């Protein structure tokens, strides 16, 4: 048995010497000294030896184990050191090199505008809510009192997923969801991406961002809406910004209005940017919530009334920052984005 241990010792040392990686060394350790290794198999024969030889062979076996283990540990350290030196050589970094100009990121004008809108209305007592971009036809059109023959329902205007599901065309479905979930009284705003077949000019895009607001309570009137929007416009754009309300027709509000503000370039004097009208593009649409919309959400219109408004975040950003082409905000051109 002593000869077997001597052979094992010689074979193990030779294998360790030839190992080129830590993975190979681990395999060698398991081969010779693992639970099912060669040393274990040899020691199983100790019971067949005479009693006086067992302690001698056992001591010698431990001596072999300790010696080979020491050589194995030294080889591990040698390989680790070599690997470290190789890595240091291959991953050499010259810290004296000029790092060049560092570009510091900042808020995109769309995100900055969205956050400013939310902060402004939160200060006015509104709660921010969120909802899905994939919406039901029921929430997007039916509950909002949209007629079956309304042009916005056409497949030429709306991205349908199937007959009952679509990419929301506005954030107004969040008003429906909020009224059904929370009832009245209610004061919420919501914002997010919306989708329409709409890219007729440089102020429209098939995907854009909307911001909606809704107030439902007892005694809410058109006067409350106008006062709220006046505060919003002056806080957002300055006290010198003039506001114009034009009658309009939306299926979900009655009466309804569209809101214009004076041109950001000439402040109402008239210039090429506003076709010499003194007025910028339509800023938002609004109105008193239609009684049918309240009924569809389980709210009694004889007890409660409300107002709602919706605006394009992209258009707000265009007016605020003097941007003339909506597509610039989606092109990720650093020359454009670093201006803000």
Cα 263 from chain centre: 34
Whether domain 109-338 has CATH 1.25.40.390: no
DSSP string, 99-123: --PPPPP---HHHHHHHHHHHHHHH
Tens digit of each residue's pLDDT (9 = 90 or more) over 147-170: 898 888 888 889 999 999 999 999
- Residues making up the annotated binding site for Mg(2+) are 254
State the pLDDT confidence band at 202, using cuts at 50, 70 and 90.
Answer: low
Integer Cα distance of 62 and 93 in angstroms: 47
- Distances in whole angstroms, Cα of residue 248 to Cα of each of 251, 252, 253, 257, 294: 10, 12, 10, 5, 20
Are 217 and 179 a contacting pair, CB within 8 Å? no
Annotated binding site: 254
Span 107-133, mean pLDDT? 92
**233 and 117 Cβ atoms separated by less than 8 Å:** no
How far apart (Å, rounded) are the C-alpha atoms in residues 336 and 268?
Answer: 26
pTM for this predicted structure: 0.65
- Residue 138 banded pLDDT, cuts 50, 70, 90: very high
Which pLDDT value is given to residue 201?
56
User: Looking at residue 1, what is its pLDDT?
Assistant: 67
* In contact, 300 and 294? CB cutoff 8 Å: yes
Average pLDDT, the chain: 86
Per the structure block, which two tokens stand in for 9?
Answer: 């010792």
How high is the pLDDT of residue 319? Answer: 80
pLDDT at 200 over 60: no
For residues 93-114, give the mean pLDDT: 80
**Structural domain spans, the chain:** 1-91, 109-338
């Amino acid at each position: 048995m002593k000869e077997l241990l001597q052979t094992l010792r010689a074979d193990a040392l030779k294998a360790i010497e030839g190992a080129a990686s830590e993975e190979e060394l681990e395999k060698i350790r398991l081969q010779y000294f693992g639970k099912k290794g060669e040393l274990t198999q040899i020691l199983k024969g100790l019971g067949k030896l005479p009693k006086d030889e067992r302690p001698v062979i056992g001591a010698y076996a431990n001596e072999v184990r300790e010696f080979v283990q020491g050589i194995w540990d030294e080889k591990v350290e040698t390989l680790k050191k070599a690997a470290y030196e190789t890595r240091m050589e291959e991953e050499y970094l010259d810290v004296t090199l000029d790092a060049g100009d560092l570009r510091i990121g900042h808020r995109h004008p769309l995100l900055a505008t969205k956050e400013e809108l939310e902060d402004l209305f939160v200060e006015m007592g509104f709660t921010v809510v969120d909802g899905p971009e994939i919406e039901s036809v029921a929430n997007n059109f039916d509950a909002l009192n949209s007629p079956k023959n309304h042009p916005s329902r056409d497949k030429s205007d709306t991205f349908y997923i199937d007959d009952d599901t679509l990419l929301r065309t506005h954030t107004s479905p969040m008003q429906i969801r909020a009224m059904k979930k929370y009832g009245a009284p209610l004061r919420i705003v919501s914002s997010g991406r919306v989708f329409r077949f709409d890219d007729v000019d440089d102020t429209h895009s098939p995907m854009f961002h909307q911001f909606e607001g809704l107030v439902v309570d007892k005694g809410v009137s058109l006067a409350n809406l106008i006062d709220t929007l006046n505060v919003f416009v002056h806080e957002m754009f300055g006290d010198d910004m003039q506001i114009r309300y034009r009658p309009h027709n939306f299926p979900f509000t009655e009466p309804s209005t569209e809101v214009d503000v004076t041109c950001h370039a000439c402040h109402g004097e008239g210039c090429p940017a506003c076709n010499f009208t003194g007025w910028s593009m339509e800023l938002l649409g609004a109105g008193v919530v239609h009684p049918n919309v309240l009924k569809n959400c389980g709210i009694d219109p004889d007890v409660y009334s409300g107002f709602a408004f919706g605006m394009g975040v992209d258009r707000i950003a265009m007016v605020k920052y003097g941007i003339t082409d909506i597509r610039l905000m989606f092109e990720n051109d650093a020359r454009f984005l670093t201006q803000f």
